C-alpha cells in the first residue's frame, strides 16, 4: 500500500512541478499513439466499410485476416516492423528504425485491424434494407457511405477508443522498433518497464498512473461525444 | 398517346434459373393510384424495386415520362421518385431529421427544407414528434414519419411496398384515410403493392393482379373485382360467389349453363360443352318471397332455402341454398320486413348480364 501511495504522491509531484522529462515522455506517447490512431482511422474506416458492403471472392479470407489482426500480439507487430525497417531490410533505406516514425508504423499495424474490424461490424449490423431505403431517398454512393458511417457512429467511436487504448498501452512493439531512447523514443510504457527493472517503483507507478489518467481522459471525452449524439 | 409516367417493357427478372418477374408491358398513368396485388412470392416487391430503380432487371427496359432510361446513371431519376417500405426504416436520428433527409441529399436550401418539413409533419399529424428519436416511435408514428419523408420530396411517382401490413387495425385505418386524403389532394402518381384486397379496393384507380411473376390482369379496380379474367385471379381477388358449371347451349350470346340440377343463364362467348366458372357479386342478387313473379327483367330465378344469415350491422349476408350456394346482401331493414331467418323459403334472382363467365381450366 505504501508503495502505491508513494507512487501517487510522486506522480502528482512530477506533474505539478512539470518535470520536463516526464512531460516529454507523456507528450511523445500522445503524439505517437495519436498519430497511429489517426492513420488507422483514415485507412481502417474506408477498408472496413468496403469489406462490410462489398462481396468479392476472397472476402472471407480478408475478414479472417482482419479479425486475426485485431488480436495481433504487439511483439509480433514489433518484430515484423523491425524486419521491414532493419538497415538491410526492404525498407531499410528510409532509416526509420529507432525513431518515433517507426513506432507510429508499428502501432498503426496494431490499430488498423481493430478500427477496420469495428467499422466492418458496425456497418455490417445495419439492416441491409435501410441501405436500400437510403438509395431510394436519392443518395449518391458517397452520401450513402456517409449516412451509413453516421448510423454506425457508436461502434465507430468504440473503434477509436479500442484502437487508441490498444496502442497507447502496448509496450512490446514500441520497445522493439523505438528502443526506449531517452528524449527520443521513450514513451510511458517503455519508461515504466525500464523504471520497474531498475527498482524505481515509485517512478514506475507515477508513470502508470499518468498513463491510466491519459487513457481515462481520452475515453471519457470520446464516451461523452458518443453519448451526446444520441437523441433522447 | 397515353400519358404514362413510367413504363416497363419486356421486363424480366431472373434469380438463378428461376423467373421472378416476366411482364411484357406495364404503364403507370399520371396521377393514378395503381395497386398491384398478389399473394406472397408473386414478385410484387421485386416489381416495385425494379420500377423504383433500386434493382436492375435481367432484361427489358423502362421509360420515365416517355424517355428511355439509361441504366448507367439512374440517380437523377431516382431523385424524382420516392419509396416507402413495409418497415419504416428510419435513421437513428430525430423525426425532423429523418423527414428532411431526402431534401438534404438533394441539396435544397436550408430555409426551404425547414418550411417543407414543417408542412409535411403537419399533414401527417406528427408535428409534436419532430424532436423525438425515430427509434422511440410506435409503429404507426414511424410509418407516418416514413410517409412524410417520402411525400416531402414531391415525388413524380410514389412507390408503396405494403406500407400498412405491419400495423394494427385501428392504426392502419386512421393512416389509410389520412393518406388517401393527402394523395387525392396532391394527385400524386402512386404504385402500391399489397396482398390486401381491401387496401386495393380502397386506394386503387386501377388494379393489377400479379401471380407467379406474371401480370395476369390490369384494369379498373371495379372491373378486376367484378370480372376477374381467370379462375385463379377470381380465387385471389376473393369473389364471393364462384360457381362451376358446363355450357349446355348457346343462343344469340345467351348461354345456358348447367350447374348441378339447375340451369343458369348468362352472357358469354364460350361454346357448348365448355367447363366454365361463374362469378356473381352478392349485391347483384335480389331476394324475394316466393309468389307470382314481379315480372322483372331478370332471367334467373332460383327457389331456395336460407342456410345462413350473418349480421354485418346495416347489411345481412345471406347464404341461400338454391341448387348451388348463393351469397346475397340485403339491408337489415328489408331482411326484417321480409321476416327472413334460416330455413325461410326465398327466391334468388339475378340478371344474365350480372353473371361473369370464365373458361375453367379444370
A130 with B85: Cβ contact below 8 A: no
Query: What are the grid coordinates assigned to B278, written together?
Result: 361463374
Which residues of chain A make contact with B78, given a CB cutoff of 8 A? 135-136, 138
b/e B116-128 (16+ beta carbons within 10 angstroms → b): bbeebbebbebbe
Residue of chain A whose Cα is closest to the Cα of B136: A232
Q: Which CATH number fits domain B240-359: 2.40.50.100, 3.40.50.150, 2.30.30.40, 3.40.50.720?
A: 2.40.50.100
Residues of B with CB under 8 A from a CB of A: 49, 52, 54, 75, 78-79, 81-83, 85, 87, 89, 91-94, 101-102, 105-106, 131-133, 136, 149, 153, 159
* pTM recorded for the entire structure: 0.85
Mean pLDDT value of segment A131-136: 96
Q: Closest by alpha carbon to A186, among A178, A195, A197?
A: A178
Mean pLDDT for chain A?
A: 91
b/e A56-79 (16+ beta carbons within 10 angstroms → b): eeeeeebbeebeebbebebeebbb
Q: Closest by alpha carbon to B240, among B338, B356, B331, B344?
A: B356
B85 with A127: Cβ contact below 8 A: no
B82 with A137: Cβ contact below 8 A: yes
Distance between B153 CA and the closest CA of chain A, angstroms: 9
Q: What residue ranges define each of the domains in chain A, with the CATH number in brackets? A: 28-186 (1.10.3720.10)
Q: Closest by alpha carbon to A168, among A116, A114, A87?
A: A114
Beta bridge partners of B179: none
Distance between A149 CA and the closest CA of chain B, angstroms: 11
* Residue A70: predicted pLDDT: 93
**Distances, alpha carbon B40 to alpha carbons B43, B83, B110, in Å:** 8, 20, 42
Q: Closest by alpha carbon to B242, among B228, B252, B256?
A: B228
pLDDT (tens digit, 9 = 90+) per residue, B256-315? 999 999 999 999 888 899 999 999 988 889 999 887 765 567 889 999 999 999 988 888
Q: In this predicted model, which residue has the larger pLDDT, B293 or A122?
A: A122
Q: Please check the confidence at residue A65 and state whether its pLDDT lies above 70.
A: yes
Which residues of chain A make contact with B87, given a CB cutoff of 8 A? 127, 129
Q: Please check the confidence at residue A232 and state whether its pLDDT lies above 50.
A: no
User: Which of B105, B117, B152 has the highest number of chain A CBs within 10 A, making it the mutation to test binding with A?
Assistant: B105
User: Which of B77, B92, B142 has the highest number of chain A CBs within 10 A, making it the mutation to test binding with A?
Assistant: B92
Query: What are the grid coordinates assigned to B281, written together?
Result: 357479386
Among candidates A137, A140, A231 on the partner chain, residue whose Cβ is nearest the Cβ of B102: A137
Which residues of chain B make contact with A138, given a CB cutoff of 8 A? 75, 78-79, 102, 105-106, 153
Residue of chain A whose Cα is closest to the Cα of B93: A231
Which residues of chain B make contact with A230, given a CB cutoff of 8 A? 133
Q: In this predicted model, which residue has the larger pLDDT, A15 or B54?
A: B54
Residues of chain B with CATH 2.40.50.100: 240-359
A137 with B149: Cβ contact below 8 A: yes
Cβ contact B163:B131 at 8 Å: no
Q: What residues contact A60, with CB distance under 8 A and at least 6 apart?
A: none
* Residue B257: predicted pLDDT: 95
The stretches in chain B having pLDDT less than 50 are: none
What's the CATH number for B4-236?
A: 3.40.50.300
* Residue A163: predicted pLDDT: 95
Q: Please check the confidence at residue A161 and state whether its pLDDT lies above 50.
A: yes
* Residue B21: predicted pLDDT: 96
* Residue B359: predicted pLDDT: 86
Query: What are the grid coordinates assigned to A170, written together?
Result: 502496448
Among candidates B49, B102, B133 on the partner chain, residue whose Cβ is nearest the Cβ of A231: B133
pLDDT (tens digit, 9 = 90+) per residue, A167-210? 999 999 999 999 999 999 999 999 999 999 998 888 888 899 89
ipTM rounded to 2 decimals: 0.83
Query: What are the grid coordinates assigned to B359, written together?
Result: 373458361
Residue of chain B whose Cα is closest to the Cα of A154: B92
Residues of chain B with CATH 3.40.50.300: 4-236
* Residue A201: predicted pLDDT: 84
Distant-in-sequence contacts of A166-169, Cβ < 8 A, 24+ apart:
A166/A110, A166/A111, A166/A114, A167/A32, A167/A33, A167/A36, A167/A37, A167/A107, A167/A110, A167/A111, A168/A29, A168/A30, A168/A33, A168/A211, A168/A214, A168/A215, A168/A218, A169/A211, A169/A215
pLDDT (tens digit, 9 = 90+) per residue, A75-96? 999 999 999 999 998 998 999 9
Query: Which band of pLDDT confidence, cut at 50, 70 and 90, is reported for residue A122?
Result: very high
* Residue A230: predicted pLDDT: 56
Among candidates A137, A140, A231 on the partner chain, residue whose Cβ is nearest the Cβ of B101: A137
Give the Cα separation of B296 and B281 in Å (integer).
19
* Residue B307: predicted pLDDT: 93
User: Which of A133, A144, A148, A150 has the highest number of chain B CBs within 10 A, making it the mutation to test binding with B?
Assistant: A133
Query: Which band of pLDDT confidence, cut at 50, 70 and 90, is reported for residue A33?
Result: very high
- Does A151 contact chain B (CB < 8 Å)? yes
Among candidates A132, A138, A231 on the partner chain, residue whose Cβ is nearest the Cβ of B93: A231
Query: Which band of pLDDT confidence, cut at 50, 70 and 90, is reported for residue A134?
Result: very high
Distance between B161 CA and the closest CA of chain A, angstroms: 11
* Residue B293: predicted pLDDT: 61
CB pairs under 8 A between A and B: 56
Mean pLDDT value of segment A220-232: 74
* Residue A18: predicted pLDDT: 81
* Residue B313: predicted pLDDT: 83
B85 with A133: Cβ contact below 8 A: yes
Amino acid at each position: 500500500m505504501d508503495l502505491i501511495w508513494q507512487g501517487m504522491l510522486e506522480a502528482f509531484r512530477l506533474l505539478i512541478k512539470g518535470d520536463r522529462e516526464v512531460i516529454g515522455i507523456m507528450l511523445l506517447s500522445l503524439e505517437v499513439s495519436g498519430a497511429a490512431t489517426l492513420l488507422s482511422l483514415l485507412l481502417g474506416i474506408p477498408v472496413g466499410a468496403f469489406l462490410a458492403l462489398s462481396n468479392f471472392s476472397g472476402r472471407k479470407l480478408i475478414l479472417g485476416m482482419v479479425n486475426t489482426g485485431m488480436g495481433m500480439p504487439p511483439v509480433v507487430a514489433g518484430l515484423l516492423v523491425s524486419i521491414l525497417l532493419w538497415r538491410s531490410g526492404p525498407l531499410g533505406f528510409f532509416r526509420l528504425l529507432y525513431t518515433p516514425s517507426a513506432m507510429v508504423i508499428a502501432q498503426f499495424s496494431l490499430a488498423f485491424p481493430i478500427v477496420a474490424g469495428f467499422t466492418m461490424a458496425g456497418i455490417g449490423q445495419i439492416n441491409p434494407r435501410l441501405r436500400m431505403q437510403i438509395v431510394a431517398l436519392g443518395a449518391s454512393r458517397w452520401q450513402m457511405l456517409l449516412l451509413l458511417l453516421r448510423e454506425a457512429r457508436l461502434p465507430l467511436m468504440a473503434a477509436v477508443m479500442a484502437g487508441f487504448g490498444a496502442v497507447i498501452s502496448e509496450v512490446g512493439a514500441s520497445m522493439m522498433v523505438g528502443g526506449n531512447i531517452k528524449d527520443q523514443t521513450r514513451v510511458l510504457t517503455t519508461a515504466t518497464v525500464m523504471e520497474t527493472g531498475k527498482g524505481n517503483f515509485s517512478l514506475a507507478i507515477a508513470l502508470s498512473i499518468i498513463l491510466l489518467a491519459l487513457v481515462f481522459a481520452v475515453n471519457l471525452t470520446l464516451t461523452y461525444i458518443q453519448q451526446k449524439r444520441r437523441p433522447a | 398517346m397515353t400519358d404514362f409516367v413510367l413504363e416497363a417493357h419486356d421486363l424480366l427478372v431472373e434469380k438463378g434459373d428461376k423467373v421472378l418477374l416476366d411482364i411484357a408491358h406495364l404503364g403507370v398513368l399520371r396521377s393514378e393510384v395503381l395497386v398491384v396485388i398478389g399473394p406472397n412470392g408473386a414478385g410484387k416487391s421485386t416489381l416495385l424495386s425494379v420500377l423504383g430503380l433500386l434493382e436492375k432487371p435481367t432484361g427489358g427496359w423502362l421509360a420515365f415520362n416517355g424517355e428511355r432510361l439509361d441504366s448507367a446513371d439512374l440517380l437523377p431519376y431516382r431523385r424524382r421518385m420516392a419509396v416507402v417500405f413495409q418497415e419504416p426504416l428510419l435513421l437513428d436520428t430525430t423525426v425532423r431529421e429523418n423527414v428532411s433527409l431526402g431534401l438534404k441529399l438533394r441539396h435544397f436550401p436550408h430555409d426551404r427544407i425547414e418550411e417543407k418539413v414543417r408542412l409535411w409533419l403537419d399533414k401527417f399529424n406528427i408535428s409534436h414528434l419532430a424532436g423525438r428519436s425515430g427509434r422511440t416511435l410506435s409503429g404507426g408514428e414511424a410509418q407516418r414519419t416514413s410517409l412524410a419523408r417520402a411525400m416531402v420530396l414531391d415525388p413524380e411517382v410514389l412507390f408503396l411496398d405494403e406500407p400498412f401490413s405491419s400495423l394494427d387495425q385501428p392504426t392502419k385505418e386512421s393512416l389509410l384515410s389520412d393518406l388517401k386524403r393527402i394523395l387525392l389532394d396532391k394527385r400524386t402518381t402512386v404504385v402500391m403493392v399489397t396482398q390486401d384486397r381491401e387496401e386495393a379496393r380502397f386506394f386503387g384507380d386501377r388494379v393489377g393482379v400479379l401471380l407467379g411473376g406474371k401480370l395476369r390482369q390490369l384494369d379498373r379496380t371495379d372491373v378486376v373485382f367484378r370480372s376477374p379474367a381467370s379462375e385463379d385471379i377470381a380465387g385471389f381477388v376473393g369473389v364471393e360467389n364462384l360457381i362451376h358449371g358446363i355450357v349446355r347451349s348457346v343462343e344469340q350470346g345467351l348461354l345456358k349453363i348447367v350447374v348441378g340440377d339447375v340451369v343458369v343463364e348468362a352472357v358469354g362467348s364460350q361454346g357448348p360443352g365448355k367447363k366454365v366458372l361463374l362469378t356473381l357479386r352478392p349485391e347483384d342478387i335480389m331476394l324475394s318471397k316466393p309468389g307470382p313473379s314481379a315480372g322483372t327483367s331478370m332471367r334467373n330465378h332460383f327457389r331456395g332455402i336460407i342456410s345462413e344469415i350473418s349480421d354485418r350491422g346495416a347489411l345481412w349476408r345471406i347464404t341461400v341454398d338454391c341448387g348451388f350456394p348463393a351469397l346475397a346482401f340485403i339491408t337489415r331493414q328489408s331482411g326484417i320486413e321480409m321476416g327472413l331467418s334460416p330455413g325461410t323459403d326465398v327466391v334468388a334472382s339475378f340478371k344474365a348480364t350480372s353473371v361473369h363467365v370464365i373458361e375453367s381450366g379444370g
